[in-house]
Amino acid sequence: MRDDRHADADTARPDATGPSRRNIVAGGALAAAGLLVLGAPQAAAAPSAGRSATARRPLAPFTAVAASESDTVTVPTGCTATVLAPWGRPIRASGPRWRTDAGDTAAEQAQQVGSHHHGVQFFPLADGAAGNRHGLLVIGHEATDPDLLGGGADKAIAAQGLTVLEVRRSAGTWQAVDSARNRRVTGDTPVRFSGPVAVDGRPRGVLACSGHGITPWGTYLAAEENVNAAFGTDDPHWRRDEQHVRYGLSANGFGHPWHHFDARFDLAAPEARPEEFGWIVELDPHDPSALPVKRTALGRFAHGSATVTETAGRLVLHSTDAEDGGHLYKFVSSDNWRRLRDLGRSPLDHGTLYAARISPDGTGRWLPLTHGHGPLTRANGWHDQADVLVRARTAADALGATPLARPERVAVSPLDGRVYLALANSTGSSPCAGEAANGTTHTPCARSADPYGRVIRWRESEATPDRDGDGATPLSFHWEEFLTPDDPALRADGAFAAPKGLWFGADGTLWISTGVSGHTLNGPDDIHRTAGNNALLAADPTTKEVRRFLTAPRGAEVTGVTSTPDGQTLFVNIQHPGERTARWGAPGPDNPRAVSNWPDHSRNGRPRSATVAVHRTT
Burial-class residue 440 by CB neighbours within 10 Å (0-12, 13-18, 19+). Answer: exposed
Give kind and range of the element (H or E) at residue 65.
Answer: none
- Residues 322-340: pLDDT tens digits? 999 999 999 999 999 999 9
So what's the pLDDT on residue 48? 46
Confidence of residue 109 (pLDDT cuts 50, 70, 90): very high
- For the chain, give the percent of residues with pLDDT over 70: 86
For the chain, the residue count is: 618
pLDDT, residue 59, reads 74
Which one has a higher pLDDT value, 8 or 210? 210
pLDDT level of residue 23 (50, 70, 90 thresholds): very low
* Range of lowest pLDDT (113-122, 407-416, 446-455): 446-455
What residues contact 302, with CB distance under 8 A and at least 6 apart? 210, 224, 225, 226, 227, 228, 248, 278, 321, 322, 323, 326
* pLDDT tens-digit readout, 520-533: 999 889 999 999 99
Model pLDDT, residue 28 = 28
Q: Which residues pair with 510 in a beta bridge?
A: 504, 539
Please state whether beta strands 192-194 and 293-295 pair in parallel, antiparallel, or not at all (unpaired): parallel
Interval 128-148 mean pLDDT:
97
Taking every pair of C-alpha atoms in the chain, what is the biggest distance, in angstroms? 68
Q: Omega into 474 within 30° of 0, i.e. cis?
A: no
Name the strand (E) or helix (H) holding 546: strand 546-551
User: Does residue 355 surpass a pLDDT of 70?
Assistant: yes
pLDDT at 506: 86
The per-residue pLDDT for 466 is: 53
Asked if pLDDT for residue 429 goes beyond 70, the answer is no
Cβ neighbours of residue 437 closer than 8 Å, sequence gap 6 or more? none
Q: Which one has a higher pLDDT value, 514 or 33?
A: 514
Task: Of 84-93, 376-385, 420-429, 432-441, give the lowest mean pLDDT range.
Answer: 432-441
Q: Domains in the chain, start-ordered, CATH in brackets?
A: 2-88+112-140+154-225+278-616 (2.120.10.30)
Say if residue 436's pLDDT is above 90: no
Residue 565 has pLDDT above 50, yes or no: yes
CB atoms within 10 A of CB 30: 22
The pTM (predicted TM-score) of the whole model is 0.91
- Answer yes or no: is pLDDT of 179 > 90: yes
Gap between the Cα atoms of 283 and 291, Å rounded: 7
Mean pLDDT across the stretch 259-279? 97
Instruction: Compute the distance between CA of residue 90 and CA of residue 99 in angstroms, rounded to an integer.
Output: 11
Q: What percent of the chain has pLDDT over 90?
A: 82
Supply the mean pLDDT for the chain: 89
Per-residue pLDDT tens digits for 145-163: 999 999 999 999 999 999 9
Confirm if 504 and 60 have CB atoms less than 8 A apart: no
Flag the least confident range among 87-91, 194-198, 422-426, 467-471. Answer: 467-471
**Cis status, amide bond into 599, omega within 30 of 0:** yes
Q: Determine the pLDDT at residue 445.
A: 52
Q: Are the beta carbons of 392 and 326 closer than 8 angstroms?
A: no
Q: Where does the pLDDT of residue 442 fall: very low under 50, low under 70, confident under 90, or very high at 90 and above?
A: very low
Which residues are CB-neighbours of 19 under 8 A, at least 6 positions away? Answer: 124, 125, 126, 127, 131
The residue type of 92 is R
The pLDDT of residue 30: 23
Q: H-helix or E-strand containing 8?
A: none
Q: What is the pLDDT of residue 56?
A: 56
Confidence grade of residue 93 (pLDDT, cut at 50, 70, 90): very high
In this prediction, residue 427 has a pLDDT band, given cuts at 50, 70 and 90, of confident
Q: How far is CA 229 from CA 10, 104, 151, 177, 249, in A?
A: 30, 23, 17, 34, 8
d(CA 234, CA 241): 16
pLDDT at 470: 60
pLDDT confidence of 12, banded at 50, 70, 90? very low
Residue 315 bridge partners (DSSP): 310
